[in-house]
Amino acid sequence: MKLITAIIKPFKMDDVREALSEIGVAGVTATEVKGFGRQKGHTELYRGAEYVVDFLPKVKLEIAVSDEMAEIAVSTIVKAANTGKIGDGKIFVSNLEEVVRIRTGETGEDAI
């Protein structure tokens, strides 16, 4: 099993969620986060004063999938979240040791 963590632009969240649903991904956890990478933030003007916004709003998606679905899910996220501009985000894939569904006690891939 794999845990896919994707950091994407907020306005792409619905596109990514719909694309993942179409390939059969059952659940996604989304968190509003702030961060920066190569994008390095930007400057804004407020009441005549210029200031730097270092941390930009992003959405962090966490998706648990079977090993077979991981590659398909990653390519789906890349296609749905891509704008071609700097700051599109990153995807991290890590191994998932164990999953337990609290309600039923199911474990492993059955719990996904």
CATH class of the domain whose range is 2-111: alpha beta
The pTM for the full model equals: 0.85
Per-residue pLDDT of the chain (112 residues; tens, 9 = 90+): 999 999 999 999 999 999 999 999 989 999 999 887 776 666 666 677 766 767 789 999 999 999 999 999 999 999 999 999 888 999 999 999 999 999 999 999 999 8
Q: Which residues pair with 108 in a beta bridge?
A: none
Ranges of each domain in the chain: 2-111
